[in-house]
């Protein structure tokens, strides 16, 4: 039983956590692609910016968390969302909109987004420096150890408070996004514009407003994903830049432009990563007596060494691009 709990901790819990982060990031990327038709490489640094915003607000309002009984960084999240959504809209007005007005090809917008990402990179390092920071300098990070009521188990299920918050918040985000896209006029207009932007214009849909709503949602999701990731690990300038490629893999695997695909893609990539780096000999060891004598179970048996786990999303990505280039949910072809 201990082995099974080890598996749940290392694969199921870790997979849902990293999968949630990928899903939140991939939804942002895929929505922007669906509406504006370009791969927004600055999304990961938008996430990092959101985390730093939360850090600043948490430093300004340190007493807030203990009063409510949650991490301060989480409690100030609404403020960061507000600022980051406004920031994302401002970036669009300053950089992307002038390019759109000139009817440039999407690849130009992609290059512009690389410029934006480098800028955010620089600004964050300029103000915050490069050293890692923690949200839990003055507050304890609660870790829940759940005792499994079996006589033979000595291990506990382990999950930290930020991780619980992350999973709950991700579910709330997905449900509200679904409600927004299927119930509200603006949400339906977003789907319509993603389907066919010319027809949206011809129908009299206010496409500028749809674009703005897209950035507000992208900013909101980035603030949530960035902050919750920083609460789970540590806050550093390259917090989510390293996640850019798995996030894109998740968006493409799910079908680019398809928000539900991005969720599926995020979880798929997340779980594949944790399954690939899991040490399977832990699960095999209890069954050693059933193997023939000449079989020796190695001490480590994983598909991919942990330090190379970045190859997992790429393998999935390449497989999808070869066999199903539109992704699981049949999105746009890039």
- Of the pair 149, 204, the CB lying nearest other proteins is at 204
Shortest distance, CB of residue 40 to other proteins, whole angstroms? Answer: 21
Shortest distance, CB of residue 62 to other proteins, whole angstroms? Answer: 46
CA atoms of 98 and 29, how far apart (whole Å): 20
How does DSSP assign 192-208, residue by residue? HHHH-HHHHHHTT--HH
- Of the pair 205, 269, the CB lying nearest other proteins is at 205
76 — alpha (psi -120 to 50), left (phi > 0) or beta? alpha
Phi, psi of 147 (to 5 degrees): -75, 130
From 27, 39, 330, select the one nearest 177 (Cα to Cα): 27
Question: Cα angle at 97 between 229 and 44, to 5 degrees?
Answer: 15
- Of the pair 19, 34, the CB lying nearest other proteins is at 34
- Of the pair 53, 210, the CB lying nearest other proteins is at 210
- Of the pair 189, 316, the CB lying nearest other proteins is at 189
Query: In the chain, where do the E strands start and end?
Result: 143-147, 156-160
Is the separation of the CB atoms in 215 and 97 below 8 Å? no
Report the sign of the C-alpha dihedral through residues 122, 317, 249, 103, in that order. positive
Shortest distance, CB of residue 326 to other proteins, whole angstroms? Answer: 13
Provide the binding-site residues for other proteins, judged by CB under 8 A: 185, 188-189, 191-192, 194-196, 198-207
Shortest distance, CB of residue 12 to other proteins, whole angstroms? Answer: 32
- Of the pair 15, 34, the CB lying nearest other proteins is at 34
Is the separation of the CB atoms in 19 and 266 below 8 Å? yes
Q: How many helices (H) and strands (E) does the chain have?
A: 16, 2
CA atoms of 267 and 23, how far apart (whole Å): 6
CA atoms of 104 and 101, how far apart (whole Å): 8
Shortest distance, CB of residue 37 to other proteins, whole angstroms? Answer: 15
- Of the pair 199, 288, the CB lying nearest other proteins is at 199
- Of the pair 209, 324, the CB lying nearest other proteins is at 209
Q: What's 99-158 look like in SS3? A: HHHCCCCHHHHHHHHHHHHHHHHHHHHHHHCCCCECCCCCCCCCEEEEECCCCCCCCEEE
Shortest distance, CB of residue 170 to other proteins, whole angstroms? Answer: 24
Q: Which residues contact 79 (CB under 8 A, 6 or more apart)?
A: 53, 54, 57
Shortest distance, CB of residue 204 to other proteins, whole angstroms? Answer: 4
Shortest distance, CB of residue 114 to other proteins, whole angstroms? Answer: 30
- Of the pair 138, 208, the CB lying nearest other proteins is at 208
Total Cβ atoms within 10 A of residue 248: 27
Shortest distance, CB of residue 209 to other proteins, whole angstroms? Answer: 10
């Amino acid at each position: 039983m201990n082995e099974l709990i080890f598996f749940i901790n290392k694969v199921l819990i870790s997979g849902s956590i990293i999968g949630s982060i990928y899903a939140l990031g991939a939804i942002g990327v895929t929505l922007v692609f669906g509406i504006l038709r370009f791969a927004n490489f600055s999304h990961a640094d938008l996430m990092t910016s959101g985390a730093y915003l939360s850090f600043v607000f948490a430093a300004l309002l340190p007493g807030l968390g203990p009063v409510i009984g949650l991490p301060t960084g989480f409690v100030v999240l609404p403020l960061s969302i507000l600022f980051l959504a406004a920031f994302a809209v401002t970036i669009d007005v300053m950089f992307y909109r002038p390019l759109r007005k000139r009817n440039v090809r999407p690849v130009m917008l992609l290059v512009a987004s690389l410029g934006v990402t480098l800028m955010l990179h620089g600004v964050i390092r300029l103000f915050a420096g490069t050293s890692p920071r923690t949200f839990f300098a003055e507050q304890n990070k609660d870790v829940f150890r759940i005792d499994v009521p079996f006589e033979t188990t000595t291990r506990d299920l382990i999950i930290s408070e930020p991780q619980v918050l992350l999973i709950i918040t991700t579910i709330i985000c997905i449900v509200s996004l679904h409600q927004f896209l299927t119930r509200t006029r603006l949400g339906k207009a977003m789907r319509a514009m993603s389907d066919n932007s010319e027809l949206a214009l011809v129908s009299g849909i206010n496409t500028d407003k749809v674009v703005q709503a897209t950035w507000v949602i992208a900013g909101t999701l980035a603030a949530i994903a960035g902050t919750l990731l920083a609460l789970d690990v540590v806050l550093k300038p390259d917090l989510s830049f390293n996640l850019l490629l798995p996030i894109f893999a998740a968006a493409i695997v799910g079908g680019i432009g398809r928000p539900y695909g991005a969720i599926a893609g995020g979880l798929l990539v997340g779980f594949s990563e944790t399954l690939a780096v899991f040490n399977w000999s832990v699960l095999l060891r209890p069954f050693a007596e059933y193997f023939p004598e000449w079989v020796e179970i190695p001490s480590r048996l994983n598909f991919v060494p942990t330090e190379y786990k970045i190859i997992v999303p790429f393998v999935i990505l390449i497989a999808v691009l070869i066999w199903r280039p539109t992704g699981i949910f049949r999105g746009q072809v890039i």
